[in-house]
Structure 1
Amino acid sequence: MEDLLKRYYAHPTARERALFLAEYAAEPALSAEERETIELLSRLLTARFGARPERRQTVSDRFLTAFMDLRVTYARDSGFLSRGKQKKEVLRAFAALLLPDFLIEPISENPRFPALLSAEWRDFADTLFRSCLRDPAYRSRVFGLVPVPEEMIVRRLREELHQIMTELPARFSLQRESSVLRAVMEESLSALTAS
C-alpha cells in the first residue's frame, strides 16, 4: 500500500490522480487490499476535489477553501453576538476538511480509512505550506518590497496554524475534535522546514 500511496501522491494535480487511479484499477492482477485502497482514495479524491476532476481544467481544492474560510472566520472575530454564525462556519469548514466528528455520514467504515485520510491531510498541508514558502507575496512585507527571511515565514505559518487549528476551535470547545488534523499539519510543517 505504501508504494501505491507514493505513486498516487507523486501526481501533483487532481486530474492526474484520477487518471492514475483509473489506470491502476484496470490492472488485472490487483489484490483485494489494493482494490479497497483504490476505492478509498477515489472517495477521498471526490470529497476533496469534486466528482469529476479528470474532466475539468481547473479544479478547486475543498480542503484549501475550508482552511481559508477558517482563517477568515478567525480574523473577523466580532464578539459575542456573532458566535452562533461563527460556530456554523467552523463546523461547515471542519466537515469539508473531513474531520470525522463533523460529518453527517462517514465516508467509510474501513479500518484503513483513517490512515488514508491522514495521508490526504498530509498532502494538503504539504501543498499549502510549500505554496506559502514559494509565494513572493507571502514572503514579503511592505507591498512586496522587503523580503522576509525564511525563519520568519515559518514562524508566521506556525502562528497561523496555531490560531486556526487551536485558538479558533477553543472558542467553541472543539479542540479535541480538531486535534487530529492539527497534529498532521504541525508534523507536516515540521518535516517541511527540517529539510
Structure 2
Amino acid sequence: MGRTPLDTPARLQEVFAAVLGVLAEVGYARFNMDLVAGRARVSKASLYQRWPSKARLITEALKANLPDLPQPDEGTFAEDVRQILRSWGEPMPFDTAGIFLGLLEGSRQDADLACLRAEHIDRAYTVHLQIAVDRAKARGELPDGLDADILITALISTFVLRSEEPGVIDGIVDGLLRPLIGTFRTK
C-alpha cells in the first residue's frame, strides 16, 4: 500500500504539524529532517526534494498555520489589541512558546531563517498591531514619539511566552496595556 503524496492538503498538514511539534520540543539547533521524517512517516529525501533547508521547511509550516488575522477597529487601542491577541490564540494547536523560542534561537544561528521569519512570519503578526498603534496615535491615545516597535515586541513576547495561562489576553490588556495607555493619554 502506497503512501499519500505530500501534495494533498491533509498530508501536507501532517508534515507541517510534525515540523512545528519537533521545533517546539527540540529547538532549532537539534531540529533535523530525520526527526520530522520519522514523526510524519515520510522519507527524508522527500522533504529535501521539496524544502532544501530546515529554515524553509519551518517557514512553510508556520505560514500554513497562520491564524486568520483580522484587522479590528473597536474604537480604542486596548480593545483593538484584545481582538488581535484573541485571533492569535484561537485555536492554538501548537506549543506557541516552544515554537517562538525555537525561532529566536534559530534566527541567531541561521541568517536564512532570520530573513524568512522577518519576511513571512513577523510581518503577518506585526502589521495589524502597527495599524492599531497608528490609529491610537491619531486618536491621541498614544504619544507620537512612542517607539511602536518596542511596544509591539512587548505585546507579542508577553502573549507568546504566557499564552498557555488562562486569562492571559485580558491580563495583558487590562493589567498592562490599559494602565500604560492611561499614562500616555494626550487628549
Q: TM-score, normalised by structure 2?
A: 0.33
The structure with higher relative contact order (CA 8 Å, sep 6+) is 2
Please give the TM-score of this superposition, normalised by the length of structure 1: 0.32
